[in-house]
Structure 1
């Protein structure tokens, strides 16, 4: 099983910022991707490779290029890492975006269950996106794709659930467990 991890955003446009640490989505999820690779040693049937979106002046081209790399690697599934943010500090919870294909939905449901158990945050559910924000990432590659939003970086509740290394590692393991649940 080959799992492609795509770090959301890029070095130039780094996404939302956690007000508690000043860390961006790109920086936080770059670290999470490394943890997923490290934790994969506990899952010998899953090979993980991390891919980074590169700024190229066009959002669509950026997405197309990274998912072309994912396809060239021969990924069996892809998971793009993000976290949510909102102007209201009370917005909280875990959600997964899916392309709506059977395999994507199966993976999204497994991720929602495993991440929810790992973080203990409100279940915001699985959402199918065929257009709008996030849909390009879900529809560009050949492999079943998901986009995760495990917590709100703007929420004290989300921050508290993800600020310690052991919590981040539990999230990394939950992603691998969900991959195993959905595909192996």
Structure 2
């Protein structure tokens, strides 16, 4: 069984960006998405087991990341996908992007995830980005498994909100992550 670790970005104390339509935080919205990814993997019966990991506020960002990725390693993750969404002061900022460490397996996973999310959401392609330093980089290199960090939409953009405000749209995004995992690894 292929083990996919789903890491929910941010934490209960620092919940990240806020959806402009509902006021829901990045952290809480992505907990729901993570559960949908688990369900989609189970329903698909394609040999993927997905398990969600929450980041715990432990006093420092680096310790928080190390802790959650230590737990994904203990789980025996074959790949990790960290869930986020973007925000910007300019409501015209829109699109889908996927961050990768640049390793061969991470890049492959990022390419499939990006393609599948674009199919699901239909937003502008912001591409796959190799990140080795700065924001998001520790999430991509702290665990043993190939990792990606997804930013499927902007919670500050009417375009992003319009394609992620219904349950079936959120389920399509969850299915996109499961299919990308299958594409990249199975």
**Shorter-chain TM-score: which interval?**
over 0.9
Aligned to 1:19: 20
- Is 1:175 matched with 2:177? yes
RMSD (Å), alpha carbons: 0.5
Provide runs of 4+ in structure 1 moved above 3 Å: none
Which residues of structure 1 form unaligned runs of 5+?
none
Aligned residue for 1:88, secondary structure, equals coil
Aligned residue for 1:112, secondary structure, equals helix
| Inter-partner Cα distance in structure 1 for 2:63 and 2:40 | 31
Q: CA deviation at 1:110?
A: 0.1
Aligned to 1:52: 54
Aligned to 1:147: 149
| Inter-partner Cα distance in structure 1 for 2:90 and 2:171 | 27
Q: CA deviation at 1:122?
A: 0.3
| Inter-partner Cα distance in structure 2 for 1:38 and 1:3 | 12
- Is 1:86 matched with 2:96? no
Aligned to 1:156: 158
Aligned to 2:123: 121
Q: Tell me the TM-score normalised to structure 1 length.
A: 0.99
| Inter-partner Cα distance in structure 1 for 2:113 and 2:147 | 12
Q: Which moved more, 1:126-135 or 1:40-49?
A: 40-49
Q: CA deviation at 1:38?
A: 1.1
Aligned residue for 1:133, secondary structure, equals coil
| Inter-partner Cα distance in structure 2 for 1:113 and 1:59 | 30
- Is 1:104 matched with 2:106? yes
| Inter-partner Cα distance in structure 2 for 1:144 and 1:38 | 22
Q: 2:67 pairs with 47, 65, 85, which one?
A: 65
| Inter-partner Cα distance in structure 1 for 2:95 and 2:166 | 18
Q: Which moved more, 1:98-107 or 1:41-50?
A: 41-50
- Is 1:33 matched with 2:29? no
Which residues of structure 2 form unaligned runs of 5+?
none
Aligned residue for 2:21, secondary structure, equals coil
Q: Tell me the TM-score normalised to structure 2 length.
A: 0.98
| Inter-partner Cα distance in structure 2 for 1:119 and 1:19 | 18
| Inter-partner Cα distance in structure 2 for 1:122 and 1:58 | 34
